[in-house]
Structure 1
């Protein structure tokens, strides 16, 4: 019975991947099935990576001919406005040439329809694929993606992108949605994936927090150091007992008046992890902890001194 089920599964997988297997350069296994996984063409049966499928930006248009060609082939990402494209050929459905009056009429209709495509819609056309690319690379849930798109739509309506980069606001909108839902992703993760500088994202994020989130009724929740403890602990492969001890040290020092205002929470999370690992006789160097946390060793030692003063 199980043998028949396996054969049926393989038959379905072979039929669904027939087109992809035809383009493969070499056979990786007896039953290849190539699929697109996070930008890479991977065989789901043996795990061999065939290559990469790059997701590019939309084509930029500069001349009148390029603009006209782009209007006919660019994707429609919006849910409003005209969806059809009137052709330039002055012929009817049967292929007959239109008269002079009909040509004038359809020329005016085509001009009116093209004028309905506003600058906001063009902005959204360019921003939507970029947001989807970031969501795919960071493995962001769908509900956070919807919140990010709602935030960016409000940004476009307020014309905050005038004189600023769309990439910066797309990344800032996504990170703002991440912080609204308190999802475990850092600003550095968004910056690295979007290939946008941290300074640009922070500058755009400030405008989003100040002018967009209050109108949408969303509350921005900063990153807390207790959330980072378990993230850094897993990256350092520390036992759960050590991570819980680090959290206990952080709670005790906070109750005794540890000043956290204006300081990066990554420093406090890394420092208590290092202290807990040292107390548990777990070998861990300051260089390893600071590299995982994305801070300097000087910052790590400074935060350790501050915590030890409160724990005395």
Structure 2
């Protein structure tokens, strides 16, 4: 039985012996490579230094200084504040009860000093609403960042005065989608925002007027795939509805007409031509419009068809 203590000889995984070379070029001694440099054990000659760090830490900037996470417009402080954990330390070890109480007191004081003014508090609340609405509507992170930047611009231009923060947050999400060509029905935004449609419409009009948004008018064909998918209509009806929307966009869409309502009318008319059972009520409910809107747009479409 061995008399020496177990684990008396350790092994450092970060240290590697260079056995593939002839050793140190000065004295011929053994060369070791760690996470920082390559050095001779005998004479101390440094052969290489500044090794590449593969630990996944923050990147280096142009001045060779360590940087943190990238700045983000989704937080009122752009992500520069410190987050205090709850039950475990950085190594995953469980904290003692005394340490948890201490961190609880620190966390409470941090929350009290987190906002320097009421304006920052409102900004934090608004950005949180933008993130929540974007998550409900399954908006990707890029559009959420743009929506947060729009909300920041609205606050800096004093557009929040006399308006609901929730409505302005919903309008920012809707505006970001409109500027990037994503079809997002206003009814879905209103439902996710839990505010009145008039408030969201007025907030969007304010953003569009004061910030000069590059939003393009939405066309009926952009809403057609979602309507067809929700109603589960066959492919032949979808193809005919697509042809009708393209014809309507070139010929007969009246000024100010609802693109969603016109797409619903084209889909309903295509279903009637194919003798597929689809009622105006079903189409109107999915499109978020009334049956009267569907009926009127269909009559306009029939006047222009050969």
TM-score interval w.r.t. the shorter chain?
A: 0.5 to 0.7
Distance in 2 separating the partners of 1:190 and 1:275: 27
Structure number with larger C-alpha Rg: 2
1:123–1:156 contact (8 Å) kept in structure 2: no
The superposition leaves residues 119-177 of structure 1 with CA deviations (integer Å, 9 ceiling, x where unpaired) of 43222121122111111111110000010011001111112112221111111111100
Q: 1:307 to 1:188 in 2, by over 3 A?
A: same
**Gapped runs of 5+ residues in structure 2?**
1-74, 84-111
Aligned to 2:278: 284
Aligned to 1:234: 229
The superposition leaves residues 81-126 of structure 1 with CA deviations (integer Å, 9 ceiling, x where unpaired) of 9879xxxxxxxxxxxxxxxxxxxxxxxxxxxx97982343222121
Distance in 2 separating the partners of 1:115 and 1:144: 26
The alignment yields a C-alpha RMSD, in angstroms, of 2.6
**Gapped runs of 5+ residues in structure 1?**
1-75, 85-112
1:188–1:198 contact (8 Å) kept in structure 2: yes
Q: 1:114 to 1:224 in 2, by over 3 A?
A: same
1:222 to 195, 198, 217: 217
Q: Does 1:302 align with 2:301?
A: no
TM-score by length of 1: 0.61
Secondary structure at 2:278 match in 1? coil
Aligned to 1:23: none
1:175–1:190 contact (8 Å) kept in structure 2: yes
Distance in 1 separating the partners of 2:115 and 2:140: 33
Q: 1:278 to 1:210 in 2, by over 3 A?
A: same
Q: Summarize the alignment of residues 156-305 of structure 1 with structure 2, pairs less than 5 Å apart.
A: 156-212=155-211, 214=212, 218-255=213-250, 257-305=251-299
TM-score by length of 2: 0.62
Distance in 2 separating the partners of 1:280 and 1:82: 60
